[in-house]
Amino acid sequence: MAELKTKINDQSVEKFLNGVPDEKKRQDSFQIKKIMEEITGEPAKMWGDSIVGFGSYHYKYASGQEGDWMLTAFSPRKQNLTLYIMPGFERYENLMKQLGKYKTGKACLYIKKLEDVNLDVLKELVILSVKHMQESNAA
């Protein structure tokens, strides 16, 4: 079975975020970090080399594969800020309509800068996502 490359580690989140070359993206990243810490009550931790994650849950698939994954996370990528909304977006259709300017992948929310989105709606999205992950993965 393939081992996950993205694992929690002891690299410095502050050092990673301070290394973001784009000033605006760096400021937005620290703001997202603060928001996610407040929502999860968990400190930011590095997952792999470029993902800042908060909290964790244990999963086990029918295939027998199991592991730990972050409840929520973000990464300041070159193209945009990527926020990881683990349950995906289908259940949050109404919130997504109010969010602002963004794109999505399966569990990824892509935004250029925080001004492009409604912060209250973004916070609500993260709150609901984290709550869903905690409830559906409770031991």
Q: pTM higher than 0.75 for the full model? A: yes
CA 99 to chain centroid, in Å, comes to 16
In CATH terms, is domain 9-134 a member of 3.30.300.30?
A: no
Please determine, for residue 60, whether its predicted confidence score (pLDDT) is greater than 90.
no
Determine the 3-state secondary structure of 56 from DSSP: coil
Q: What is the pLDDT of residues 72-101, one digit of tens each?
A: 999 999 999 999 999 999 999 999 999 999
pLDDT above 70 as % of the chain: 96
* Domain limits, the chain: 9-134
Q: What is the pLDDT of residues 116-130, one digit of tens each?
A: 999 999 999 999 999
